[in-house]
A and B are shown apart, each in its own frame.
Chain A
Amino acid sequence: MPFIPHTPEDVSAMLDAIGVGGIDNLFDEIPAGLLNGSLPNVPEALNEMQVARLMTERAEADGRYLSFLGAGAYEHHIPAAVWQLATRGEFYTSYTPYQAEASQGTLQLVYEWQSMMASLTGMDVSNASLYDGATAFAEAVLMAVRANRNEAHRVLVPSSLHPHYRATLKTIVGQHGIAVVEIPFDTESGRIDRDALEAAAAEPFAALAIAQPNFFGVLEEPDALTDWAHGKNALVIGVSNPMALALVKPAGEWGSAGADLACGDAQPFGIPLSGGGPYLGYLCCKQALVRQMPGRIVGATTDLDGRPGYTLTLQAREQHIRRAKATSNICTNQGLMVTASAIHLSLLGLKGLESAAAASHAGCRKLLEKLIAIPGVEPVFASPFFHEAVIRLPVPVAGVLEKLLQQKMLGGLDIVPYYPELGHALLVCVTETKTSDNLDQFSDALANAIKESPC
Chain B
Amino acid sequence: MSDIPGQLRYTKNHEWVRLEVDGSATVGITDHAQELLGDIVFIELPETGKHVAGGTEVAVVESVKAAADVYAPLSGVVTEVNQAAADAPESVNETPYDAWLFRMSPDNAADFGALADAVAYRQMLGD
Instruction: State whether A149 touches B47 (Cβ < 8 A).
Output: yes
A278–B47 Cα distance when bound, in Å, is 41
Shortest CB–CB separation between residue A140 and chain B, in angstroms? Answer: 20
Of residues 49 through 108 on chain B, the ones whose CB sits less than 8 Å from some CB of chain A are: 62-67, 69
**Which residues on B sit within 8 Å (CB–CB) of A325?**
67, 69
**Interface residue? A49 (CB, 8 A):** no
In the complex, the number of residue pairs spanning A and B with C-beta atoms less than 8 Å apart equals 18
A168–B56 Cα distance when bound, in Å, is 32
Instruction: State whether B44 touches A291 (Cβ < 8 A).
Output: yes
**Interface residue? B42 (CB, 8 A):** yes
Q: How many residues of B contact A (CB 8 A)?
A: 10
Instruction: State whether A321 touches B65 (Cβ < 8 A).
Output: yes
Instruction: State whether A291 touches B66 (Cβ < 8 A).
Output: no
Q: Which residue of A lies closest to B47 (CB)?
A: A149
Shortest CB–CB separation between residue A406 and chain B, in angstroms? Answer: 59
**Interface residue? A316 (CB, 8 A):** yes
Main secondary structure on chain B at its contact with chain A?
strand
CB < 8 Å neighbour of A291 from B42, B47, B64, B69: B42
**Which residues on B sit within 8 Å (CB–CB) of A316?**
42, 62-67
A291–B42 Cα distance when bound, in Å, is 9
Q: How many residues of A contact B (CB 8 A)?
A: 7
A322–B66 Cα distance when bound, in Å, is 7
User: Interface 1/0s, chain B 100-119, versus A by CB < 8 A?
Assistant: 00000000000000000000
Of residues 16 through 62 on chain B, the ones whose CB sits less than 8 Å from some CB of chain A are: 42, 44, 47, 62
User: Interface 1/0s, chain A 292-334, versus B by CB < 8 A?
Assistant: 0000000000000000000000001100011001000000000
Beyond A291-B42, A316-B62, is A322–B67 a contact (Cβ under 8 Å)?
Answer: yes
**Which residues on A sit within 8 Å (CB–CB) of B63?**
316
Give residues in A with beta carbon < 8 Å to B. Answer: 149, 291, 316-317, 321-322, 325
18 A–B contacts from the bound complex (CB under 8 Å): A149-B47, A291-B42, A291-B44, A291-B62, A316-B42, A316-B62, A316-B63, A316-B64, A316-B65, A316-B66, A316-B67, A317-B67, A321-B65, A321-B66, A321-B67, A322-B67, A325-B67, A325-B69
